[in-house]
Every structure is written in C-alpha cells, then in structure tokens.
Structure 1
Amino acid sequence: MNSKLGRIFQIDNQQTSIRTEMLAGLTSFITIAYIIAVNGAILSNAGMPYEAATIATVFSALVGCMLMAFWAKSPLILAPGMGDNAFFVFTLVFSFGLTWQQALAAVLIAGIVFFLVSMTKGAVYLSKKIPTSMIHAMTAGIGLFIGFLGLKNGGVIVASEGTFVQLASLRDPHVLTTLLTLVIVVPLFLRGVRGNFLIGIIAGTIIGILLGIVDFSQMGSFQFSMAGYDQVFFAFDFSQLHSFQFWIAVFSLSMVIIFANMGAQLGMLPDTSKFRRSFQANSLSIIAASMFGCSPTTTAAEGAAGIAAGGRSGLTPFIAGLLFIPALFLIPILKIIPSSAIAPVLIVVGCLMIQGMKHVKLDDFTEAFPAYLMIAIMPLTFSIVNGIAFGFIAYPIVKIVTGRRQEVSGAMYVIAALFLVYFILGVK
C-alpha cells in the first residue's frame, strides 16, 4: 500500500515520506476545518439554505483537494475561501443586485475564464502587466472588509444615524461572546496552536451557550440527509447574460480569483515547477464549486501549516480532502454555532489579509494612493468591487499627471476604462 501511494504521488522524488505527508494533510485539515461552519453562515446571508450551502462547501473542498492531489500532485489545499465568499454575497448579490443563482452563473463563467488563462501564457502576461501594489492592495482591502464584517456580525459595531457606525454596548451578550472568543482565538493563533480557529469557534459556542444566545431549537437529527441540497446543485440562472452589469460582475470576480490565487500559490509552493498544474487545478475547482452551489474555492493560506509540517506531494491534500467527508454528519451541530463565535475568526483573518499592504511602496505616492483608495473604499461602501474600481482608475491617472505614463501597461488602461464605464452607467 505504501509503495503504491508513493508511486501515485511521486513521494520518493519529494524528499518526504508517507507518514510525513499524512500528518501534513491532517494538519492542513485542522487549520482549514473552520470554513465548513463559516462558509455556510456567510452564504446564508445571500438567501442560500444553510444546510445546502454547508454540503456544497464540503463537496467543493473535497473535489478541490482531489484535483490538487491527482492533477497537480501539489501540497496546496483548495477550499471555499474567505474573501471569495464575502465577494460572492456582498458584491455579486448585494452590490450588483444578482440573485444567488445568477451569482453562481457568474462564478461558473469566471472559473472558465480562469481556466482559459491557466491553460495559456495569459497568467504570466497578467502577472507582469498588473502592478504588484494593486494585487496586494486588493488582498488588503478585502481583509479590511472581512474584519469590518466580523465586527458587524459579532455585534461589536452597530449602525448610527449621526456617525453611520458606532460601538455597541459591551454588556450585550452577543458582543461579550465575540470579545471573549477573540481573547481566546488571538493567543491560540499567536502561539501557533493547530486548529486555533476551530478551537476558538468551539469555545465561542460554549460561551454563547452560557450567555444564552445559542438556539438549540435549530439542531436537527444527526442523520445525514441530502434533502434540500437540490436547491443549490446546478442552480445556475443565466437570465442576466445580456446585462452589462452581469459581465462587469464576472470581470471583477475573475480579477479577484486569478490574482489572489496566483499570489498565494507562488508564495506558498515549495516547488514552483508545480505552479502551472496547481493553477489549473485551482481553476477547475472553481468551476466544480459553482456546480455544487458554492462560492469560489481558493488556495487556502491555512495550507501553509501543512507545508510547514513537511507536506510536499499530492498526498497532503488527498488526506485533507478525505477528512472533509465526516463533517457532513456534523451539520446539526454547525447550525447552532452563533455568529458571535464565528466573528472573531473573520476579524483575525482580516488582519492576516491586510498585511499585504506591507508590499505596497508607501514612500511612492503614485503607488500608495491607488492602493489606499482601494483599501478604504471597500469597507466604507460595503463593496469590494467599488474599491477595486477606484484603485484601478486612480492608478493610471496619478502616473500620467506625474509624467510616468511609461509605467502603465496597456492592460491597465483597458481595465481602468472598463471600471470607468461601470461607474458612468451607474451600476450599483
């Protein structure tokens, strides 16, 4: 058995062992398992049934990991991602006004665009033509948006007529649950405890029970059932294909998933010769996720824990993928997890993502200002695409007025023009 696994995943050529790879797979799963509870909760904001969205999350992660295991033979983990789920709900659905079924159609088309790019030299071309400051600012802006979302969902920040937002009462049990859970999650994360987010969510649920905010009436039978999953499986609605707004949504989503995954993979892969196939596996997993009824899968940053544990081959995601299957039987428990137990995870993940700002040349105003606009506009307009649009429009403008137009590629002018049309036509 060991020799067969070794041949399938080419372990002998990776200076690793089956035992190391299995432990790496377990480590990766433990660090990313929180997404099973979090993704369903976020997608339900768009009107998707929680149980069905959670099943779709598990299937998407399973297939994503298997694609990475057998096609790319790479140690990276593919699962529905933070940032991508927020983009799906708050940009595609809330900002562009698509239904979640139409948003799934947009994910499918964006996944196909991603695949076409991954099969050509387009990925290399785009990686050279889009300024790295814009890519990192995009990640940082989404991070700030996710952090804001966590504070909002946790009840810490509430609406105010006079100041738009304000701090909620710290005596509120939902706020207390969020803050106490955050006090637990941050030290666990800083100490590198495996499964820190998962432990934090469990602790937050217990705190929520003690403070009386957990509704046990939502818990159903522990018998796994696919009932209701047909509501999201292949639930595409292509009725907006004629709409300019729909294609701007597809364009914006394509930008986010292509560049976010490109940066993550190049930064995490121990062997960059596996990049092209890993990139292709990523694109195929997004297409599969849309069919399952899920937001886009992504190269999980948490997979870095498995790589740090020695993961070098496709056996790492294979093991991680298999471990998602038992989670299907835990959906009744996942349903009672309060948003205040999940919010701290969003806050910490937001902090991790905003660190991308350190790669922006802040001492160069022509690089810093577009990045700053992108990061500020996302949470303040509650729209990821608005932030991206402001950043990409501002970039060529500040370069031109400072006499540095040679630093702007043709691709950047085209992208800026498209986003300008997006605003002129009054797309919401």
Structure 2
Amino acid sequence: MLEKLFHLKENNTTVKTEVLAGITTFMTMAYILAVNPTMLSASGMDATAVLIATCLASFVGTLAMALMANYPFALAPGMGLNAYFAYTVCLGMGYDWRVALMAVFVEGLIFIVLSLTNVREAIFNAIPSNLKKGVSAGIGIFIAFIGLQGAHLVVNNDSTLLTHVDFAGNWHTEGICAVLALIGLVITVVLYVKGFKGAILIGILATWVLGMICQAAGIYQIDAKNGFYSLYPTLSMTDFSSFGKTFGQCFKADFSNVNIFNFIAILLSFLFVDMFDTIGTLIGVATKADMLDEEEKLPRIKPALLADAVATSVGAVFGTSTTTTFVESSAGVGAGARTGLSSVVTGFLFLLAIFFAPIFTAIPGFATAPALIFVGFLMVSAILNIDFNDLTEAIPAYLCILAMPLMYSISEGIAIGVISYVVINVICGKAKKITPLMYVLAVIFVCKYIFL
C-alpha cells in the first residue's frame, strides 16, 4: 500500500529511510512548539491553546502535503509571520488577536483560489528576486532582535533607546537569564556546525535545564511581578479544554473599531511574506533534493501550494498564525527523504506532541531566545545572494532589511522595499523592468501612509 501511495521505488527510497528522515525533520523544527506559544501569548492568546493549535495545524498541513503532493516537506506556523502577528498587528497596531486570526484565515482562502490557478506562480515571478531576498534577510534580523530581547540581552534605555543588560544590577533575574541565553546560543551553534540533528531543539532544552539548575542553586530567583517565574514544568496532563479559547475565535472577531484600509494592509502583508516564504522554501528544498525538472520548475507545485494554503486557513480556525512550509524540511531531505511518507511521520509526531503541552509551555523566553537568534542567522544569509553591483536592485533590498528591525515591523519593511524599488527604478530610467503588480503594490502602500 505504501509503495502504491508514495512510489518509494520510483524515488529510490525505502520505508526505513523515510521514517528516519521524518523523525529528523521533526527534531529540527520542533522548536516551534516552544517558540510559537511564547510569541503568540504576547498578543493575549492562551499559551496552551496556541500549542495545541500549533500541533494540529502542523499535523494537518504536513499530512496534506504528503497526500496531495507526495513531497517530503513539513509545515508549521512560520517564524517571522508569527512575529508580525504578535508584535506588529496586535501589540504595535493594537488589534485584537481574533482580528489577526481572521486576516490569516482570509489569506488562506485567497491562496486556495490562487493555488487552483497559475496566479500564485505568476505573482511570484513578477516580484524582483533581490527584493525577495531582502525580505527574508530583514525578517531574520527582526527575529534575532526579538530573541535578544527575550534573552534580556537587549533592554530599554532612556538615553540611547536600547542597551545591553546590567548583569550586576539584576544578576538574579535579567543577568543570569542573559548569560544562560548566551550559553544556549553557543551550544546551538556548535551542535549545528558539528552536524547534529535537532541542534536548535537541543539548544532550547539544554538552556532550560541549566536554568532549572540555577534556580535550584538560588542563582536564578523567581520574581513573578516582573515576569520571572519558576522554570520547573507542571507535571500534569494537557488541559485540552483550553483549546476552546482559540478554536473558531477568528469568526468572533470584532471589526467595529478596525479600519478597513489597515485590515487590507495587514492582509497584504501576510499574503506577501507567506507567498515568498513558501515558494522560496519549496524551490530551495526541492533543489537540494534534486526534484526540479529540466526547466528548473517543481513538478506538482500546484498541489503543494494548495496544501500550504489549506493549512493556513485551517490553522487560523484552530488558533495560530500562518502555517507555512518549513525550510527545516531540508534536514529530512539531507537524511534521505524523497516522498510524502516522511511527511506523514513528521505530521503524526506533531500530533503526539499535544500530550506534552505543559512541558512546552513552561519553557522560558531566555531558553527559546537562542533559537530565534540562530534562525535569524539562517534567514539573513539570503543577503549574500543580493546583487550589490546593481544599486537599483540592492538599495531597495537594503532599505527593506533596515526598516524591519528598526521600525519593529515586517510590514513597514516590505512597504518601504516595494515603494523604494518602484521610485528608484522609475527615476533612474529603468521603469521597463517593473511589473504592473509592483506598481499596484506601491500605490497601495503609499495610500496606507497617506490615509492611515
């Protein structure tokens, strides 16, 4: 049955190889189970409910990818997109998280329609390659910045806005957390360089364990008033009743105080980032697995995009930010994955993880910070592929990268990148290379600044 369903022999693989590769993929991306609840809970969402939603969305999306496209790609709520959801839409713009979930749900529906046609592929081809890479790099720096804050390495300062933590003055809280985060980052980097599978997850767990040891020794001290809680997990069953706190809540969003233009801008930002994150990941991982055809195109890309789109809307209903294809799928491909069977294994491991919710939600921010900082590094490497010899290409990408962390908003970075690309190239006499879609996006973003 497995042979008929996944064509193992045709893809030169075996059941054993696919199973082991599926486990490898899960290990490399399981950090999302610790990071996503932490990030989205900042918007007011229940952490346990978010974790359950994360597991279910990952299960549904990864299984859909396996059965619809037969590719070894795993899906989960995307890094960067969850940061935009929590820190820009909810905390920055002040919108209720239910409104943000509705934007994600609508985004998924739009992608379902676009994926059933060739529109999504056409849109991807219309956006300048260098700007795509700038978006990826900018998100990487933004995520790393959030990680530095979560580690308490970077703190507020009245005179310079930001500075490093006062290790001596707040040693038993911020100080020790910052040191532990740095140790965790070193562990993560060394393991990753040495080729250990699941280096990011091991880094999170090692940092957490060191924190618990410090708490037992009295080095780390609980200060609940300032957000420093006990580092020991509650050994209890997952409270499945909490799932109702996020399930279906997108349909209960209150739009009475929501500006329609702001909502459209949020929706477009989700669309833009998710589109290039997904398609870029699909092509990148497929290239590593030698799955592209003679024309450098990915066979069965339409069902793969459709699976990703369905996962986004379903995930919003469950109660999590945009579900997308993970670049960590390349770890499974490196371990030999060539079919959807490995994705089935990864998907069921996410489903099993639901029962360990109390453990994942107890992981402190300074323990997940090394993961954010290191994932930021992996994403910022896209800057190496930007063509700096053509300044009309490089400068808009640079402005996009610069704006995201400094303005604390992925949306602002994208807007500035698109607007500057159109303006610079038109003034420099290179308007012919600008696609009609880029003009449309630029006008929309300019209207956002004028009328919002």
Task: Give the TM interval when normalised to the shorter protein.
Answer: over 0.9
Displacement after TM superposition at 1:419 (Å): 0.3
Question: How far does the alpha carbon of each residue in 1:143-194 deviate from its partner, in whole angstroms, 9 at most, with x for none?
Answer: 0000000001100001111111111124511111111111111101111101
Alignment of 1:358 with 2:384, yes or no, is: yes
User: How far, CA to CA, are the matches of 1:22 and 1:100 in structure 2?
Assistant: 37
Displacement after TM superposition at 1:326 (Å): 2.5
1:268-283 correspondence runs (5 A)? 268-269=285-286, 270=289, 271=291, 272-283=298-309
**Contact in 2 for aligned 1:60/1:288 (Cα 8 Å):** yes
Alignment of 1:259 with 2:256, yes or no, is: no
Letter paired with 2:60: V
**Contact in 2 for aligned 1:266/1:275 (Cα 8 Å):** no
User: How far, CA to CA, are the matches of 2:241 and 2:405 in structure 1?
Assistant: 36
Letter paired with 2:330: A
Letter paired with 1:262: I
Query: Equivalent of 2:243, from 209, 229, 254?
Result: 229
**Contact in 1 for aligned 2:234/2:362 (Cα 8 Å):** no
User: How far, CA to CA, are the matches of 1:229 and 1:218 in structure 2?
Assistant: 23
Q: Secondary structure at the residue paired with 1:227?
A: helix
Displacement after TM superposition at 1:96 (Å): 3.0
Letter paired with 1:312: R
Letter paired with 2:83: A
User: How far, CA to CA, are the matches of 1:266 and 1:184 in structure 2?
Assistant: 30
Which shows bigger deviation, 119-128 or 198-207? 119-128
Aligned to 1:95: 92
User: How far, CA to CA, are the matches of 1:307 and 1:220 in structure 2?
Assistant: 36
User: How far, CA to CA, are the matches of 1:376 and 1:412 in structure 2?
Assistant: 20
Aligned to 2:311: 285
Query: Equivalent of 2:432, from 406, 413, 416?
Result: 406
Q: Secondary structure at the residue paired with 1:290?
A: helix
Change (3 A) 1:95 1:217: closer
User: How does the TM-score come out when normalised to structure 1?
Assistant: 0.96
Aligned to 2:180: 177
User: How far, CA to CA, are the matches of 1:94 and 1:200 in structure 2?
Assistant: 28
Displacement after TM superposition at 1:218 (Å): 7.1
Aligned to 1:248: 265
Question: How far does the alpha carbon of each residue in 1:196-235 deviate from its partner, in whole angstroms, 9 at most, with x for none?
Answer: 1111111101111122247448743422331121010010
Change (3 A) 1:407 1:217: closer
Displacement after TM superposition at 1:410 (Å): 1.0
**Contact in 2 for aligned 1:218/1:335 (Cα 8 Å):** no
Aligned to 1:220: 234
Query: Equivalent of 1:239, from 214, 237, 254?
Result: 254
**Contact in 1 for aligned 2:27/2:197 (Cα 8 Å):** yes
Question: How far does the alpha carbon of each residue in 1:213-269 deviate from its partner, in whole angstroms, 9 at most, with x for none?
Answer: 474487434223311210100101443377211111111111111111111101112
1:274-313 correspondence runs (5 A)? 274-313=300-339
Q: Secondary structure at the residue paired with 1:166?
A: strand
Aligned to 1:382: 408
Question: How far does the alpha carbon of each residue in 1:23-55 deviate from its partner, in whole angstroms, 9 at most, with x for none?
Answer: 110111111111111111111111101111111
**Contact in 2 for aligned 1:64/1:281 (Cα 8 Å):** yes
1:23-38 correspondence runs (5 A)? 23-38=20-35
Which shows bigger deviation, 243-252 or 232-241? 232-241
Query: Equivalent of 2:203, from 175, 186, 200?
Result: 200
User: How far, CA to CA, are the matches of 1:128 and 1:59 in structure 2?
Assistant: 32
1:56-67 correspondence runs (5 A)? 56-67=53-64
**Contact in 2 for aligned 1:9/1:314 (Cα 8 Å):** yes
Q: Secondary structure at the residue paired with 2:382?
A: helix
Which aligned segments of 4 or more residues in structure 1 are displaced greater than 4 angstroms?
Answer: none
User: How does the TM-score come out when normalised to structure 2?
Assistant: 0.91
User: How far, CA to CA, are the matches of 2:350 and 2:371 in structure 1?
Assistant: 19
**Contact in 2 for aligned 1:169/1:175 (Cα 8 Å):** no
User: How far, CA to CA, are the matches of 2:232 and 2:24 in structure 1?
Assistant: 31
Q: Secondary structure at the residue paired with 1:344?
A: helix
User: How far, CA to CA, are the matches of 1:224 and 1:395 in structure 2?
Assistant: 49
Which shows bigger deviation, 132-141 or 217-226? 217-226
User: How far, CA to CA, are the matches of 1:262 and 1:334 in structure 2?
Assistant: 29
Displacement after TM superposition at 1:298 (Å): 1.3
Q: How many residues align?
A: 423
Flag structure 2 segments of 5+ consecutive residues without an equivalent.
Answer: 169-174, 223-228, 292-297
Q: What RMSD over aligned residues (CA atoms) do the two structures have, in Å?
A: 1.5
User: How far, CA to CA, are the matches of 2:371 and 2:231 in structure 1?
Assistant: 25
User: How far, CA to CA, are the matches of 1:94 and 1:411 in structure 2?
Assistant: 30
Query: Equivalent of 2:189, from 162, 178, 186?
Result: 186
